[in-house]
Amino acid sequence: MLVVKPSPLTDVANVDRLTQHFRKQKEVGKPIYYILPSNKYLQEARKRKAGMAFKTFDDLADLVLKKAKVEFFPVSETERTLFFQELIARDKKRFLQPSEELRHKAKAYAETYGQLKRIGVSIHELPPQYKQMQSVFQEYELEWVQKQRLLDPENRIHEAVSLQMEDSLNLGGIVIDGYLDFSTLQYMVIQYFVSLGFDITVYLPEIDHAEILVETLDQLSILGFHAEKSEEIQIEKLPLVEVSSATTMEEEVYGVLDDISQKYDEQAIKNVGILLADERAYLDMLLKVAREKDIPIKQPIKKNVTDSLLFQFIYQSLLKHSGRFSSRWDSLDLIDTLLRLQFLQSFDYMTKKKAYIESESLEEKMKEAVEQFISFRQELPKKASLVYYLSVVRDLLAKSELTDNWKKHLLQDENTKKLQQIRFEWKAYDFLLAFLNQKIEMLQEQGLSELEVHYQIFVEWFYEGLQRGTIYIERAPLKGVQLYSFRDIALFEGEHIYVLGLNEGTFPKGHKLGGYLQESDLKKLPVPFAAPTSKLFRKKDDAFFQQLFLLADKLSFSYVVGVDPHNPLLPSGYLEPWKQQIIDRKYSTVNRFAKNESFSTYDYEEKIAYHVGLGKRVSSIPMRLQAMVHTLDFLEAGIEQVSAKWHGKLKREKMSVTMLESYAMCPFKYALERILNVKEPTEKRTTIDFRDVGSMLHAIIEKFYKQLNLIGKPFSTFTAEMTEEADHILMDIFEDEWAVVEQQHLDFSQLQLSIEKEDWQKKLRKWWLAEKKHFWENKQLQTMHLFRLEESIELDLKLNEEVTITLTGKIDRIDIDEHGFVIYDYKSGLASLNFDKEVRPGLKLQLPLYLVAMEKRLLNGHYQIDLSNIFTSVPENVTAHGASYISLRDPLKRAGNSVWREEHFGKNSPFSVNYRATKEETLSSEILLAKYQLKERLVELLNGSSKDFSVRPLKCINSCVYKPVCRVTQDQIEEGEGEWK
Ligand code: SF4
């Protein structure tokens, strides 16, 4: 008998109906398969009536396959995608395409294949535009479906409904309850069982004006079903409807749960249901806020296996590892997870990790374990059977001493939180072992022991397999708010349903076919039942929405409107009839914090904090908050001044010029770096350290000129004959010095080092060409001498009547002739010299102060002996020509990186000075110091550097290593940058 019985919506799987079919089952002496549309229905039905076979359509197909003794290995849709990847990975032409593209291609192919199968179409019926996929689909069916017997859900149904059943299925009939419609494959199963002559009863829910139900009924009639007459639905009273908008998803959840806790007490809460239009987006947030507000939700607490440390260790740190362990950084992740799996005290964990990072030292036992894991990973073959890969991972897990360690903790530790974490890890360990064993057994049973895949496919397959693995942490409470989806909301038996997330685009969802198939293709394909058009899905959503009005006395819809009033997000089109009565932004942070009652101390404190933060006057602020406000004020102001005692201790009379520059740039950084000696974090370097490069360059330049014996000599000493020798010397020195840099960068790959090396080689050659052009081959400067390199100086400078400072430093290069001298400073990167913006505030002091120091030295006879060797007579009133940075990136430049006396500007400038350089009438030290008020600034910097370390940078550099511990704000950065403009 094939019958369709109309059913009130709320009668789906009710006790009377189940009992009736249970009796029938007893009478016929064979099980009756009771098919329900969702897991929630299945669970509920099992609770209501034990002893019935509650199943799904997939179970019906599996029953047929089992009875027909068809052997197969069930695979999921995601696994199918991986097999397509494996197929495409075997393609000889694959190297012509990037791997990411191949993955997308495999996914699109697998989805197209799955979609074809879902609409009951064979691969031979592909529309002409998809014919190029046919060979891949054929190979999949031959290799994986027919030969290996790896059956995805669609192929299980296709295979089942194609079988001629010789033996009886031992089935007393089928009851299908709660479905509004059926997919193509479900119709195919129904048709198959109709052909086998089984009794089938379909209970079709009644929803007034639901077009989808009319279509379902028509289709079932074509299959031979007889429809019983339905009674007119009487809706006694339409539910009250309220629609609210929220600024964010979080506020929506807070608002709804607030509403629930105000309206329903512990007893009445069972009358409330929540429907999440987008469960994936909302569920975690809802559970979190409910926990915070102590509202019970009838949902067991589970954790994903993939959230366990053990999973991270096995999958992320080990299996996904490239297998190259050439530096300590390559093993760091592995060691870190292993250490965390030991549940050490935080201090021990930090100490051990630090010791490894700094000196690669590990305790002997740990070292052995790490070596064992590394060789495990390195020995894994690029291609092997799935059983092989699974077995080696299982053996590795079984051999590991993780559980011994956890056992010790469980016996000795008292920290509840830690014990809970260990129990979770242990459950994840058992889950993993069981998963591995089960997969191995299944593969062996199906004769798939030799099934080979590439290693990367195995790793992804392993990940996908564990994606859905969950571990129970806590059972669902007996009483609480029930959560539903549109599919199972008819199970609700209370008064009030809250529907969250009813935004345009979320519901109705907008349907798309899988893979490359388009809706227009459906018309050309021989789809046997219910072609999945968007019209059909829309009808289904209409029915889903309409059903809500039969289920509750009150419906509260909400959606997210966003925070931007000019660009509001829109509500679902289904809410159109209530458009006028939408309560706009009912749920928002402002409204939440404006409420004057609180559900917990935390909530109370959060509200007070909000008002205090807005600058409102709040009486009786809790002590904890007062302390926080105080701390925040302090942090925001950024003032860091030391006591008089420390001021006295830190006071100095001698300071290097670079220290003063560093203090001017950022007093806070200066304190961390130069006073507290806070080391920068040790981390994997991705670029060559600029300090190492700087030292290398200075060393090369000095050695180079020494070997050429040019120091102290006029530029005319260098002759054309020396060119070749000079080139060789430069490169030889570079080789030696580069070897030192390489020693300091052992973590770098050879490739990276050789790229860097080549780059610096080029830069050096360019530098030498520029040196020749500016100095050695410069016809106008033949009498000028390279006087000194790396010259240390000490300058006593009287800043005012009370303060005299001794400045120290090193001048990279001094050139001199009868008329004056030039100071140069070599830089590996670019450098500028702007007197108003950089020199005046103290950010660039080296060149101007070295000019002063040099002038004083020459005037007080410091170089008397040397000069008499160089010139026939000591020049009188010798003064500076200029000063310049020489950048290795642009060594010819003498523009915004230098300062010159005005006579050196113009076409025939012997120093090739560009008009953009700073022009000074005189560089005489006292005039220069006075013009830029440098003495006053030096007094400020000197005083500040012993007492004021406030977060007030004049220049906050992006790459500052102290950024993670610095509270500088964007405002403070901009303020500093603007101070000397
Ligand atoms: S981040 Fe900026 S303000 Fe903070 S210490 Fe570094 S340079 Fe100074």
Whether 608 lines ligand 1, by a CB cut-off of 6 Å, is no
Nearest residue (by CA) to ligand 1, atom 6, is 960
Lowest mean per-residue pLDDT among 109-118, 727-736, 860-869: 860-869
State the total domains in the chain.
7
In a domain, 975, yes or no: no
Q: What is the largest CA-CA distance in the chain?
A: 130
The secondary structure of 329-393 as a DSSP string is: HHHHHHHHHHHHHTT--HHHHHHHHHHHHHH----HHHHHHHHHHHHHHHH--SEEEHHHHHHHH
Whether 847 lines ligand 1, by a CB cut-off of 6 Å, is no
The pLDDT tens digits for 31-58 are: 999 999 999 999 999 999 999 999 999 9
Ligand 1 centroid–CA 944 distance in Å is 17
Cα-based angle 830, 832, 837 (whole degrees, multiple of 5): 145
Atom of ligand 1 nearest to the CA of 961: 6
Ligand 1 centroid–CA 691 distance in Å is 19
Ligand 1 centroid–CA 953 distance in Å is 7
In a domain, 672, yes or no: no
User: Residues 150, 168: one domain?
Assistant: no
Residues paired with 53 in a beta bridge: 33
User: Residues 203, 101: one domain?
Assistant: no
User: Residues 196, 246: one domain?
Assistant: no
Ligand 1 centroid–CA 318 distance in Å is 37
Distance CA 962, CA 980 (A): 24
The secondary structure of 596-665 as a DSSP string is: S--SSHHHHHHHHHHHHHTT---SS--HHHHHHHHHHHHHHH---B--HHHHHHH--SEEEHHHHHHHHH
Nearest residue (by CA) to ligand 1, atom 7, is 956
Nearest residue (by CA) to ligand 1, atom 2, is 956
User: Residues 586, 633: one domain?
Assistant: no
Share of the chain above pLDDT 90, in %: 76
User: Residues 511, 428: one domain?
Assistant: no
Tokens read off for 203:
């209970």
User: Residues 411, 344: one domain?
Assistant: yes
Residue 508 lies in domain: 240-299+477-521+532-594
The pLDDT tens digits for 722-732 are: 999 999 999 99
CA distances for 110 relative to 47, 144, 733, 823, angstroms: 38, 13, 60, 70
pLDDT at 864: 66
Q: Which of residues 227, 255, 277 is at a domain's end?
A: 227
In a domain, 684, yes or no: no
Nearest residue (by CA) to ligand 1, atom 5, is 669
Q: How many CB atoms lie within 10 A of CB 562?
A: 17
pLDDT, mean over the chain:
92
In the structure, what pLDDT confidence band is assigned to residue 870 with cuts at 50, 70 and 90?
A: low
Report the first-to-last Cα separation within the chain, whole angstroms. 92
User: Residues 358, 451: one domain?
Assistant: yes
- Contact present, 84 and 136 (Cβ < 8 Å): yes
pLDDT at 96: 58
In a domain, 708, yes or no: yes
pLDDT at 684: 79
Nearest CA to 320 out of 309, 329, 333, 308 is that of: 333
Atom of ligand 1 nearest to the CA of 955: 7
User: Residues 750, 800: one domain?
Assistant: no
Question: Stretch 169-198: mean pLDDT, rounded?
Answer: 95
Whether 962 lines ligand 1, by a CB cut-off of 6 Å, is yes
The pLDDT tens digits for 453-504 are: 889 889 989 998 998 899 998 888 888 999 999 999 999 999 999 999 999 9
CA distances for 570 relative to 438, 566, 585, angstroms: 48, 12, 12
Whether 956 lines ligand 1, by a CB cut-off of 6 Å, is yes
User: Residues 581, 614: one domain?
Assistant: no
User: Residues 54, 128: one domain?
Assistant: no
Ligand 1 centroid–CA 957 distance in Å is 7
**CATH code for the domain in which residue 45 is found:** 3.40.50.300
The SS3 assignment for 516 reads: coil
Whether 160 lines ligand 1, by a CB cut-off of 6 Å, is no
Whether 953 lines ligand 1, by a CB cut-off of 6 Å, is yes
The pLDDT tens digits for 380-418 are: 999 999 999 999 999 999 998 899 999 999 998 888 999
In the structure, what pLDDT confidence band is assigned to residue 233 with cuts at 50, 70 and 90?
A: low
In a domain, 515, yes or no: yes
In a domain, 980, yes or no: no
- Residue to mutate (ligand 1; options 636, 662, 669; most atoms within 8 A of CB): 669
Q: Which of residues 776, 801, 823 is at a domain's end?
A: 776
> Does residue 682 have a pLDDT over 90?
no
In a domain, 734, yes or no: yes
Nearest CA to 850 out of 826, 875, 823 is that of: 823
Lowest mean per-residue pLDDT among 271-285, 787-801, 858-872: 858-872
Residue type, 280: R
Whether 949 lines ligand 1, by a CB cut-off of 6 Å, is no
Q: Which of residues 158, 177, 195 is at a domain's end?
A: 158
Tokens read off for 585:
């932004």
pLDDT at 873: 64
Question: Stretch 830-847: mean pLDDT, rounded?
Answer: 95
Tokens read off for 685:
């370097």
User: Residues 127, 269: one domain?
Assistant: no
Residue type, 575: L
- Residue to mutate (ligand 1; options 662, 843, 961, 962; most atoms within 8 A of CB): 962
- Contact present, 73 and 443 (Cβ < 8 Å): yes
Whether 968 lines ligand 1, by a CB cut-off of 6 Å, is yes
Nearest residue (by CA) to ligand 1, atom 1, is 963
In a domain, 685, yes or no: no
User: Residues 835, 929: one domain?
Assistant: yes
Whether 668 lines ligand 1, by a CB cut-off of 6 Å, is yes
Nearest CA to 193 out of 32, 26, 76, 20 is that of: 32
Atom of ligand 1 nearest to the CA of 966: 4
Ligand 1 centroid–CA 287 distance in Å is 40
